[in-house]
Amino acid sequence: MAATIDTATTGPPGLGRCASCGAPLSGPYCARCGERTVEPEALTLRHFLVHTVAAELFSVDGALWRTLRLLFARPGRLSLEYAAGRRRAYLNPFRLLLVAIVAYTLATAASGFGVTLSLGPVTVSMAPPRIQRGRPVDNALDEVDRYRLLRRQFAAKEARLQGERSREAFNDRLAAFVQPASFTNVFLLAAALHLAFRWKRRRFLEHAAFSMHVFSFVLLSSLILFGLGRMRDWLPINFFLTIGLFALWQFVYLAVAIRRFYLPTGRWGNRLLSVAAAMLIYILNAAFITAVQLAGAAIALALA
């Protein structure tokens, strides 16, 4: 029986076939799906470190840095590029969001404070808190239950929550619910934008891309705040004033992004509308994060 040779992997470029779609190859890239031919050199560790990792991390023209430049410098522009179909030059919105979530999670694991906003008697959380496994339950509740709605439930189980194992189990359950649930807000925001700007006739995926870009900016820009928190003793201004200025920066960014993506025409009317929309989103996000934390604490107490 004659042996067969797989020309898709061993044949020279131009005579083989694409490993993904099977189309004939006439060069290093497939004309049908864009897949690149894999050469033996590309499978070495040296090639991966020198060409793949270095190109992504250190090249100023790499997709990652190009995406971050546009994300931070031009609010809403990255979403416009995505909606216009110019996507190959930038990271996919969902991939960017995953990068931001991972970076934020790693940063908050090393930080010692949460982000809250107080307006008179009303205090809301702006970001998920850092949850320490060995922290006493009453201290954890002081942070996530600022209106003391769960104190009666805690009092009924206070005796069994004093041991180290019980505290760790409570905090593990709280973290397992709060941190993943908090990030679902990105999809709720997309649904809210879809309803609020339905008259713009944008597809839901465009609203979702805008939402993912905004949340990626919020998470990644928060890394700056966490870094400043670790250097608060050397800051030239009060750290709480720093938090206020930082929150103002994120709010202005959101308002500009909304105007650029949804309300590009018109003058003062659309500017006021974009500010009002940003304010509503800001309030809803804070209320959602606060409610998620409260629900997580209630579930953790119920399972204790």
pTM above 0.85, yes or no: no
What is the per-residue pLDDT across 105-149, written as a single tens digit (0 to 9) for each?
Answer: 887 765 544 556 555 555 556 566 667 777 888 888 887 887 888
Higher pLDDT, 59 or 244: 244
The half-sphere exposure of 299 on its side-chain side, counting CA atoms within 13 A, is 15
Which amino acid is residue 304, in one-letter code? A
Residue 269: pLDDT band with limits 50, 70, 90? confident
pLDDT above 80: residue 211? yes
Query: By C-alpha distance, which of 113, 125, 291, 139 is closest to 299?
Result: 291
Burial class (CB in 10 A: 0-12, 13-18, 19+), 228: middle
Q: Percent of the chain beyond pLDDT 90?
A: 19
- Cα 54–Cα 108–Cα 119 angle in degrees, nearest 5: 130
Query: Would you state the pLDDT for residue 230?
Result: 72
pLDDT, average across residues 211-231: 85
- Gap between the terminal Cα atoms of the chain: 69
Instruction: Using DSSP, state whether 124 is helix, strand or coil.
Output: strand
pLDDT, average across residues 20-24: 82
Query: By C-alpha distance, which of 195, 250, 216 is closest to 82?
Result: 216
Contact 131, 175 (CB under 8 A): yes
Residue 288: pLDDT band with limits 50, 70, 90? confident
Give the Cα separation of 20 and 6 in Å (integer): 14
Q: Tell me how far CA of residue 263 lies from CA of 73, 266, 267, in angstroms.
A: 19, 7, 9
Query: Would you state the pLDDT for residue 11?
Result: 42
What is the per-residue pLDDT across 46-97, written as a single tens digit (0 to 9) for each?
Answer: 666 666 666 555 554 578 888 999 999 999 999 999 999 998 889 999 999 9
DSSP 123: E
Backbone angles phi and psi of 17, in degrees to 5: -125, 155
Contact 278, 254 (CB under 8 A): yes
